[in-house]
Structure 1
Amino acid sequence: MGRQHVDHGDIVRFAQDKVNLPKDKADEYRAQARRLRERLESYLDEHPDFTLKKMLLSGSLAKGTALRSLNDIDVGCYISGADAPSDIKALLDYLAERLRKAFPNFSPDQVKPQTYSVTVSFRGSGLDVDVVPILYDGDPQWYGNLVSQDDGSFLKTSIPLHLEFTRKRKTAQETHFAQVARLVKFWARNMKREKEDFRFKSFMIEMILSHLCDQGLDFSDYPEALQHFFTYLARSNMREKIVFTDCYAASAVGSFSEPVQIIDPVNEKNNVSRLYTAAQADAIVDAALDAGDAIDSALAAPTKQETVYYWQKVFGPSFQV
């Protein structure tokens, strides 16, 4: 019944109007990041001994899963050299000092060390670029030690391999993988507005959807794909260990003690959900059960008003048809 009132096409239009970062904005932001990178590369050509080796766009903008609400972008900055400090605060000050040298026309207040990154502010657009340091020793696959945005610890990672991991899933389900990821992230953002202590970081959402993609879930019907996602969270109780084999064998993954276990696809020793408590996992499951029930009710609702009411339980009051 409810399908005649709100169907896949209505979800597509809602995503285009309220969820997705518009293409012109995405292009503008990528261009700014590219200019930042190109200016650094130009500086590196003139200063081959400079310790900043490469800047790579990362995060949701690089993966094509950014929401309309995006107001900053993530860039990984590879740092090489024996003089690079291993203390986090000293490393960030070191990075900020060298970014100022590489971009002398930026005023000092446009390059500011934060807790785990250095923010470069563009005055024209008001866009902030969060530059995260990665200590690098020449690995050909661009593995290095990243400063984790979660807790400031050093984590082995490779931005190119992470981007390739997502690209593979996007290729398997062209358009639909990225769109469903954005819709789920929008739902999670709506949940955080309703409940201040609700936590469900975007990277975990993308990893769960990647797992479902690898299992053969068809993402091309958005109400069905969303329902499958919420059903998986409820069925697994957020306690199912998720492992990928793109960059290592499953047998290489050890045991973890944390209640939620989603293993980094490029680092078998990193549980990306290690900071999540059992109570936080249970809150995600409860929210997923509510969202799944709302979609079931929306698909069975006899009137358009009722159908929209149930979809608003998932996406908030901005959902209109």
Structure 2
Amino acid sequence: MGREHVGHGDIARFAQEKVNLPKDKADEYRAQARRLREKLDGYLEEHPDFTLKKMMISGSLAKGTALRSLNDIDVACYISGADTPRDVTSLLNYLAERLRTAFPNFTPDQVKPQTYSVTVSFRGTGLDVDVVPILYNGNSRWYGNLVSQEDGSFLETSIPLHLEFIRKRKQAQEKHFAQVVRLIKFWGRNAKSQREGFRFKSFMIEMILSHLCDQGLNFSDYPEALQHFFTYVARTDMREQIIFTDYYKSAAVGTFSEPIRIIDPVNPKNNVSRLYTAEQTDMIVDAALAAGDAIDAALAAPTKQETVYYWQKVFGSSFQM
């Protein structure tokens, strides 16, 4: 039936052609961010008392889950020092001033404070690097207080541990874990363009798929893995609490009253979905139900035309076979 017309291999080819950030682009972006970090490392060797302590690529590029549409890079910048401001606006101006000092070849307009980060623009590639400050007190596991990109609050986090957490899941299901993450993120972007008010941040998608991975779900068949994700969202109504015990015991997890409770794997006191309302939660569930129904119809469709039609309900008009 429909699987004869569109199966795992077809979804994998679609991902390569339309979803994934091409390897050469990913390498170029990583090299750009690495040069920025290496310049800072060189500066720090000459100025050991400088308040910028470490820069690390973070976000989807670091995790290997970036989409083709990526147009900026997230970099975490660890800052320490008694004179470091504690309010966000002052902290961002402080960070911008020190980045300009560390990189004197950049013009002032190439280093601009934004709402919750500082954007460093590269004129040659047109690439933007969003530098997010983390207040650091010397913790050996690189815990510090990150400025949240959602609301500007300070959240305790460790970028190295977050990257290690995802790397473990990728190692458990080589290639397939990251690919399914990218496919679901692509679906989420399509759903956002089709549904006013829809939001479903990438980190939440990664955490749900990490939970399913830990439960033993095999991601090697993409139609089946996608369907399992949507079934999980629909079955739990997005109200099932998700926790991980890689870096803390379950007893350390606090009590949360928000509709969605996906707990940060490196901070048991942080619900990463705390800002989602009941209405937004229901929109995610409705979108997942629709996607699951579309995949069911695609797998049962008698013709290739019908099969592609139903897959387009999941991925949009760019899905062509």
Q: TM-score, normalised by structure 1?
A: 1.00
Instruction: Report the equivalent of 2:308.
Output: 308
CA distance in 2, matches of 1:138, 1:272: 24
Q: Deviations over 1:114-143 (max 9, x none)?
A: 000000001111110000000001000000
Instruction: Report the equivalent of 1:269.
Output: 269
1:5 alignment partner AA: H
Q: CA deviation at 1:194?
A: 1.0
After superposition, residues 117-128 of structure 1 pair within 5 angstroms as: 117-128=117-128
Secondary structure in 1 aligned to 2:187? helix
Q: Deviations over 1:228-285 (max 9, x none)?
A: 0000000000000000000000011011011110000000000000000010000000
Instruction: Report the equivalent of 2:280.
Output: 280
Please say if 1:130 is aligned against 2:127: no
After superposition, residues 3-42 of structure 1 pair within 5 angstroms as: 3-42=3-42
Secondary structure in 1 aligned to 2:152? coil
Secondary structure in 2 aligned to 1:75? strand
1:70 alignment partner AA: L
Secondary structure in 2 aligned to 1:180? helix
Please say if 1:254 is aligned against 2:240: no
Instruction: Report the equivalent of 1:68.
Output: 68
Secondary structure in 2 aligned to 1:97? helix
Q: CA deviation at 1:294?
A: 0.2
CA distance in 2, matches of 1:250, 1:73: 33
Q: CA deviation at 1:196?
A: 3.1
After superposition, residues 221-260 of structure 1 pair within 5 angstroms as: 221-260=221-260
CA distance in 1, matches of 2:196, 2:99: 35
CA distance in 2, matches of 1:40, 1:194: 42
After superposition, residues 152-171 of structure 1 pair within 5 angstroms as: 152-171=152-171
CA distance in 1, matches of 2:195, 2:36: 37
CA distance in 1, matches of 2:296, 2:172: 27
Instruction: Report the equivalent of 1:180.
Output: 180
Secondary structure in 2 aligned to 1:273? coil
Instruction: Report the equivalent of 1:220.
Output: 220
Q: Deviations over 1:90-115 (max 9, x none)?
A: 00000000000000000000000000
CA distance in 1, matches of 2:7, 2:195: 28
Please identify runs of 4+ aligned residues in structure 1 that moved more than 3 A: none
Secondary structure in 1 aligned to 2:272? coil
CA distance in 2, matches of 1:225, 1:173: 12
CA distance in 1, matches of 2:196, 2:51: 41
Instruction: Report the equivalent of 2:103.
Output: 103
CA distance in 2, matches of 1:69, 1:197: 21
Secondary structure in 1 aligned to 2:54? strand
CA distance in 1, matches of 2:192, 2:252: 35
Secondary structure in 2 aligned to 1:130? strand
CA distance in 2, matches of 1:244, 1:174: 20
Q: Deviations over 1:194-216 (max 9, x none)?
A: 12310000000000000000000
What 5-or-longer segments of structure 2 have no aligned partner?
Answer: none
Instruction: Report the equivalent of 2:78.
Output: 78
Secondary structure in 2 aligned to 1:254? coil
CA distance in 2, matches of 1:301, 1:126: 44
Instruction: Report the equivalent of 1:45.
Output: 45
CA distance in 1, matches of 2:196, 2:255: 32
Q: How many pairs were matched up?
A: 321
Instruction: Report the equivalent of 1:191.
Output: 191
CA distance in 1, matches of 2:254, 2:54: 32
Instruction: Report the equivalent of 2:115.
Output: 115
1:273 alignment partner AA: S
